[in-house]
Amino acid sequence: MNTEVKQALSKVPEVTLIFWVIKIFATTLGETGGDALSMSMGLGYLLSTAIFGAIFMVAVSFQMYSKKFHPVTYWATIIATTTVGTTLADYADRSLGIGYAGGSALLLGLLLSSLLVWKQTLGSVAVDTVSSPKSEIFYWVTIMFSQTLGTALGDWVADTEGLGYLASALIFGGLLAAIAVAYYRTKISRTVLFWAAFILTRPLGAVVGDFLDKPYTSGGLELSRYSASAALMLVIVLMIFAFNHRPAATTH
């Protein structure tokens, strides 16, 4: 199958530097946006999860029914997963009392199970194979688990372990840098490295988002969640329209 045909079939973007930049901004927006609804507006974690869950279902429906890759639809769905992942993780960790460690362990198990079942069912979890309804279902379920895990993991490291938001951001950023080095210097599976990086961008965004909107006394900048979310959304929209986004055409 030639490159043009593969690009026409793929429903997800080519993985470039801009992809990762937008992904980090989207995960940060997920944290500030999720907190804006659940905390600033006082709707609570459960109701906020229901609202964001409904938005996600609409977004992913558009994504799955699309005949080809559309950057706006794709990134809208990603943002929807980050917001619902934020409030869902907070509900499980805080309202249900599972705790950050327990929530992280549970979600990690669900994430790995999703990848395993996907691999056994379709033979590959590489993003360039996401072109059929079944592969898209696995893709978005896996992403939902990864986004929810990221919130719990970020909060666990920053709050429970007492490392703070900036130190936690440096840790997750350092891990992402190590993955980048492995990508260029080793023969480790590109698919494994992709999913490792994809998962780690979420806790990075979570702690950066918390740093932006949490009180000074908690180590944050105490910015308005509404203003921070609006600014992040503006940057994402500008990057979507300012850069060329092509569908994935190679195995990662």
* Inside any domain, residue 194: no
In the chain the first and final C-alpha atoms are separated, in Å, by: 17
Mapped onto helix, strand or coil, the DSSP state of residue 127 is helix
Per-residue pLDDT of the chain in tens (252 residues, 90 and over written 9): 444 444 446 789 999 999 999 999 999 999 999 999 999 999 999 999 999 999 999 999 999 998 888 999 999 999 999 999 999 999 988 888 888 888 888 899 999 999 999 999 999 999 888 888 899 999 999 999 999 998 889 988 988 778 899 999 999 999 999 999 999 999 999 999 999 999 999 999 999 999 999 999 888 999 999 999 999 999 999 999 999 999 887 444
Residue 96 lies in a domain: yes
**199 in any annotated domain:** no
Inside any domain, residue 216: no
Q: Is residue 207 part of a domain?
A: no
Instruction: Please check whether residue 55 lies inside any domain of the structure.
Output: yes
State how many domains the chain has.
1
Q: Using CA atoms, how far apart are residues 151 and 158, in angstroms rounded to an integer?
A: 11
Indicate whether 198 belongs to any domain: no
- Cα separation, 122 vs 53, whole angstroms: 27
For 120, counting Cβ atoms within 10 Å of its Cβ (0-12 exposed, 13-18 middle, 19+ buried), the class is: exposed
146: in domain: yes
Q: Which domain holds residue 115?
A: 3-153+225-242
Q: Which of 114, 116, 127, 56 is nearest to 85 (CA)?
A: 56
- Compute the C-alpha angle 216/103/212, nearest 5°: 20
